[in-house]
Structure 1
């Protein structure tokens, strides 16, 4: 091949590459996002002091039944009174703390734990358990409880469609709200020494 033809081919090849690189491919297809989960994963976080950061990871179910779109009765029916509950949906709720905590006056060492509850109409027993990565409460083992605290359950004039876990603004309580029920667990960094 002569040099002039080779040069011409190189310029033509370069032009074609630039054209195809800057032109959207006609064969591309749009891929929709995955279907939104029925009980999406949520997090509640709070820095309580210089060494204590707390994160609660949970799945947030709704009052409305995802299959029938009907409102459900939550406490006493969907979530039975007197039975261990995963404190949300799907996998058990998990709490991680970088420093020692006091939950309702009881000391909890730094670490990652599963949270469960035993709801009653007037109080809940909050359970902190050392087993993590559990699906629901199906394999809950009471022997691995780190601590249990009883806290009052109150009725709210507001209705919480989504199960919600949140720290109050001051970081002095961890609150659980769903339907017309609210539970508040006092929380603070453990006293040093």
Structure 2
């Protein structure tokens, strides 16, 4: 009987711990010259922009580790030249208007918590056009569509030209 109670308690503990420790899945999108690796959070009934992701603050553009974008060869984003390499991708969401897109060469960051210490290394900031999505995007996605890097989550998408 004691073994059965111990086993039940252990299973309950493991199940509870796993549900709290779940991270957003790691995804990688690759098209041509560009590859993006990011944590893909879900809405889960939450208010995303303006609450979970504050306006006018640097955001890691995803979950867990800061999003990283790799240019296999020299390219551009928002009309700004980008040398081949891997960069951390940050954004600054706005309630109304375009978002700021930031590429920074400091890799392997958790979130944007140390951004103030590395911001002097940023490439020139560019602007991403925003629009409302036609339907709710439950799990955040980053893709390249028609020559634009597109970040879509909840009811918002931001896009910026990439080559």
Task: Quickly name the TM-score band, shorter chain normalised.
Answer: 0.7 to 0.9
Bigger proportion of residues as helix: 2
Aligned to 1:60: 40
TM-score normalized by the length of structure 1 = 0.70
Aligned to 1:25: none
Could you say what secondary structure the match of 1:143 adopts? helix
Cα deviation code 1:40-77 (max 9, x no counterpart) = 00011011xxxxx211000000000xxxxxx1000011
Runs ≥4 residues deviating over 2 A: 35-38
Contact 1:61 1:163 in 2 (8 A): yes
Deviation at 1:157, TM superposition (A): 2.2
Distance in 1 between residues matched to 2:129 and 2:67, nearest whole Å: 20
Could you say what secondary structure the match of 1:42 adopts? strand
Aligned to 2:100: 125
Query: Which of residues 46, 49, 52 is equivalent to 2:31?
Result: 46
Is 2:116 aligned against 1:134?
Answer: no
Is 2:71 aligned against 1:73?
Answer: no
Query: Which of residues 141, 160, 165 is equivalent to 2:137?
Result: 160
Could you say what secondary structure the match of 1:63 adopts? coil
Contact 2:48 2:154 in 1 (8 A): yes
TM-score normalized by the length of structure 2 = 0.83
Could you say what secondary structure the match of 1:182 adopts? strand
Is 2:128 aligned against 1:151?
Answer: yes
Is 2:148 aligned against 1:173?
Answer: yes
Could you say what secondary structure the match of 2:120 adopts? helix
Query: Which of residues 74, 81, 92 is equivalent to 2:66?
Result: 92
Cα deviation code 1:142-165 (max 9, x no counterpart) = 111022101221112210000110
Is 2:149 aligned against 1:186?
Answer: no
Is 2:86 aligned against 1:109?
Answer: no
Distance in 2 between residues matched to 1:135 and 1:38, nearest whole Å: 13
Distance in 2 between residues matched to 1:83 and 1:110, nearest whole Å: 27
- Structure number, greater radius of gyration: 1
Bigger proportion of residues as strand: 2
Q: Which runs of 5+ in 1 are unaligned?
A: 1-34, 48-52, 65-70, 189-193
